[in-house]
Each structure stands twice: as structure tokens, then as C-alpha cells.
């Protein structure tokens, strides 16, 4: 571990992204079919690389996670968020460890106001006393099984990027070891609050303000009909033109995070995204999503082959990003 503080360019970019910008449906969100992954890996790698280097954002279909497992994870999330506030508070967020429940505490540098949501984070080594199995029997077992499926899928995708970056076989799988006490990949259940029909929403209040993710790769599960996600590629950030992403139950929406951008010496760009608040006349009911963040183990050193950025441990990197995003 090191206590050296690094200046993170990612945060400087994020502070400039709080405006409404403009919206356009012209940008393509590519869908990558993972059918017969082992036999088609070379072709899939080319498709993933093209999508990732172009906009840093893509969707996976025929990805191998059964719909029953996805539906079950959403059902567990909705049961958890329906618990009384005092019950959820018994499983409160462990600061700096991305574990447990929080509500209205994430403040994006882009907007300076809390995201209008609550979330429950699962990071395997830090879950002591955070499981709600006393009121939701079997929650822990089912959630860990789903997290494991997400991790395996993320490693398949990351193995394609490793191939293109000239990294050894199994490079990212070794850096994301679920059996290690240093593991810090996170499964996050999200509940964006319903908005009363007569409520006026200030311009600087968002369900989730504009941001890039901290991690290597994000897998996002959404529910059909629960929209609001918008994307803006990092290389086009100055124009602030946002594209809506239509949710579908069987599709996983993915984006490159800042950790992989740094690791690839910026060959793989991270992607700005946000969740807009409902406009007048739009559906104001609750939105649920589930995200898996593939974040390298705490003791892994992130250093690109060209040395474009200073060496930094994954622990220090994630800690700095958390500190900039959560209210103290």
C-alpha cells in the first residue's frame, strides 16, 4: 500500500459534465453476440475492440447468463429495497469498502447534488454483518451466485481486450480473484426513487449525475420500460451530446471504466453516462438496475505498457474515486 496521492485526470474531466447538453438518437450502440464464444473468440474480439475504441460503450446479447438468474436478482433487489428504512440501515455502507446499503449519499463531482437513489453493494471480502438473510432467507447465497456469473462474463470480455493489448492469457482473471481477501469487484443493486407527478425537479438534480465509472468494465442489467440511461463518449465529451439507451431485459449494457483506460494507456476510452430525471409528461415510476463493476484486486498495480500514468495500486485508485463521490 502507498499513501501517495495522485492527481486523477478523470475527476477533472467529470467536473465539466454537469450541464444538460443536447440529446440525439443518431449514435449507434452496438450489440455484440457472444454465441459460441470459444469458437468465435477472435471475431468477437474484433467486434468488442471496434465498439470499445470507438465509443467505449456496447451491449452483449446471448451472453450466457440465464434470464431466470437475472430476474431472480432483480426480485431480490426489490425485496431488499422494500424493507423498512431501519432494517436496511442495519446493513449500512462500510465507508471506503463499497459494501452495504446507502441512500442519497453519492454526490457526483459533475453536479454536486446527491443522486436520487439508494443502493446495496456486495464486495465479497467485506460483507460481514451486511447480509439481510434474517428477513430475506437465501439472499446471500443467491446474490453471490449471481455475482459469480457476472464476474465470469466480465473476465471473458476482458480476456478479449487482453489479447488486443498483448497481455498474457488470464491476465485480468488473475487481477480479479474472487477467492482473494484483496478482491474489490462489486455487484451493486440500484433503486432510483419514483417521482411524484406534481414534483418540480431542479435542473441540477439527476437520478445519477454524469460520470465515468471507476473500474475496468461495467456490466449493467436494466428492466424493459425503465429508461433514463444516456451515454456520451469521452472523446466527444466537450460537445455534451447524449444518446438514450433503450433498456431490454435480455441485453447487458457495458462500458469501459477509467481503470482500464489507464491500464491501456488510453487506447480504450472510458465513457460518460448519466440517468436523467423524468421530464414533465414522462413516466415517473421507480427505476431498478443492477451493475457489476470489475475492479482489480487491491494489491494489483495498474501500469500501462507505455507508462503514460504513474503506477498506482488498485486500492489507492478506487479509494480516491470513492472519496470524491460519496458525502462524508
pLDDT tens digits along 5-35? 444 555 555 555 556 676 777 778 899 999 9
Place of cell 467505449: 56
- Of 78-92, 98-112, 252-266, 288-302, least confident by mean pLDDT is 98-112
3-class DSSP string for the chain: CCCCCCCCHHHHHHCCCCCCCEECCCCCCCEEECCCHHHHHHHHHHHHHHHHHHCCEEEEECCCCCHHHHHHHHHHHHHHHCCCHHHHHCCECECCCCEEEEECCEECCCCCCECCEEEEEECHHHCCCCCCCCCCCCHHHHHHHHHHHHHHHHHHHHHHHHHHHCCCCCHHHHHCCCCCCCCCCEEEEEEECCCCCCCCCCCCCCCEEEECCCCCEEEEEECCCCCCEEEEEHHHHHHCEEEECCCCCCCEEEEECHHHHHHCCCCCCCEEEEECCCCCCCCCCCEEEEEEEECCCCCCEECCCCCCCCCEEHHHHHHHHHHHHECC
Model confidence band, residue 211 (pLDDT cutoffs 50, 70, 90): confident
Please check whether residue 313 is in contact with residue 298, taking contact to mean a CB–CB distance below 8 angstroms. Answer: yes
Please answer whether residues 143 and 122 qualify as being in contact, where contact means their C-beta atoms are separated by less than 8 angstroms.
yes
- pLDDT, one tens digit per residue, over 72-119 is 999 999 999 999 999 999 999 998 788 999 996 767 665 577 778 899
- Residue 19 is predicted with a pLDDT of 62
Cα–Cα distance, 19 to 209 (Å, whole number): 10
Please answer whether residues 114 and 105 qualify as being in contact, where contact means their C-beta atoms are separated by less than 8 angstroms: yes
What are the pLDDT digits (tens) for 152-192? 999 999 999 999 999 999 999 999 999 999 999 999 999 99
Q: What is the model's pLDDT at position 193? A: 87
Distance separating alpha carbons of residues 279 and 66, to the nearest angstrom: 34
Model pLDDT, residue 123? 97
Per-residue pLDDT band for 4 (boundaries 50, 70, 90) equals very low
Residue whose C-alpha is closest to residue 302's, from 287, 285, 320? 320
- Residue 238: the pLDDT is 67
| C-alpha dihedral (252, 257, 262, 268), degrees to nearest 10 | 40
Distances (CA, A) of 285 to 54, 196, 240, 288: 33, 8, 27, 10
Which of the four pLDDT bands, split at 50, 70 and 90, describes residue 249?
very high
Higher pLDDT, 305 or 69: 69
Quote the pLDDT of residue 271.
86
- Rounded distance, CA 77 to CA 63, Å? 21
What is residue 3's predicted lDDT score, i.e. its pLDDT?
38
CA–CA dist 146, 203 (Å, integer):
36
Dihedral sign, CA of 276, 292, 268, 38? Answer: negative
Q: Does residue 227 surpass a pLDDT of 90?
A: no
Residue 116 CB coordination number (10 Å): 21
pTM, two decimals, is 0.90
189 contact partners, CB below 8 Å, separation of at least 6: 73, 76, 77, 80, 81, 119, 120, 121, 122, 288, 290
pLDDT of residue 150 exceeding 80, the answer is yes
Confidence at residue 267, expressed as pLDDT on a 0 to 100 scale: 93
**If pLDDT is split at 50, 70 and 90, which confidence band does 60 have?**
very high
pLDDT, the chain, mean: 87
Amino acid at each position: 500500500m502507498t499513501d501517495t496521492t495522485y492527481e486523477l485526470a478523470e475527476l477533472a474531466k467529470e467536473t465539466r459534465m454537469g450541464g444538460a447538453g443536447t440529446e440525439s438518437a443518431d449514435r449507434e450502440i452496438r450489440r455484440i453476440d457472444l454465441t459460441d464464444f470459444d469458437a468465435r473468440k477472435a471475431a468477437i474480439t474484433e467486434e468488442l475492440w471496434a465498439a470499445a475504441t470507438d465509443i467505449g460503450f456496447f451491449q452483449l446479447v446471448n451472453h450466457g447468463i440465464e434470464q431466470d438468474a437475472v430476474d431472480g436478482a432483480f426480485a431480490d433487489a426489490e425485496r431488499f429495497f422494500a424493507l423498512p428504512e431501519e432494517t436496511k440501515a442495519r446493513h449500512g455502507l462500510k465507508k471506503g469498502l463499497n459494501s452495504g446499503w446507502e441512500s442519497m449519499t453519492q454526490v457526483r463531482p459533475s453536479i454536486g447534488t446527491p443522486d436520487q437513489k439508494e443502493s446495496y453493494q456486495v464486495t465479497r471480502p467485506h460483507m460481514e454483518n451486511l447480509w439481510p438473510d434474517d428477513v430475506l432467507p437465501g439472499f446471500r447465497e443467491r446474490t453471490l451466485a449471481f455475482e459469480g456469473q457476472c464476474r465470469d462474463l466480465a473476465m471473458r470480455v476482458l480476456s478479449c481486450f487482453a489479447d488486443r493489448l498483448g497481455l498474457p492469457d488470464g491476465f485480468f482473471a488473475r487481477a480479479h480473484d474472487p477467492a482473494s481477501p484483496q478482491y474489490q469487484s462489486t455487484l451493486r443493486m440500484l433503486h432510483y426513487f419514483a417521482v411524484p407527478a406534481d414534483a418540480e425537479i431542479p435542473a441540477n438534480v439527476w437520478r445519477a449525475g454524469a460520470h465515468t465509472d471507476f473500474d475496468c468494465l461495467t456490466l449493467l442489467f436494466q428492466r424493459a420500460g425503465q429508461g433514463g440511461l444516456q451515454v456520451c463518449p469521452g472523446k466527444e465529451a466537450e460537445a455534451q451530446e447524449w444518446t438514450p439507451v433503450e433498456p431490454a431485459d435480455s441485453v447487458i449494457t457495458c462500458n469501459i471504466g477509467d481503470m482500464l483506460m489507464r491500464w491501456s494507456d488510453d487506447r480504450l476510452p472510458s465513457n460518460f453516462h448519466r440517468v436523467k430525471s423524468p421530464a414533465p409528461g414522462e413516466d415517473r415510476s421507480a427505476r431498478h438496475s443492477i451493475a457489476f463493476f470489475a475492479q482489480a484486486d487491491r494489491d494489483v498495480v495498474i501500469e500501462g505498457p507505455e507508462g503514460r500514468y504513474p503506477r498506482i495500486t488498485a486500492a489507492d485508485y478506487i479509494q480516491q474515486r470513492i472519496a470524491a463521490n460519496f458525502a462524508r
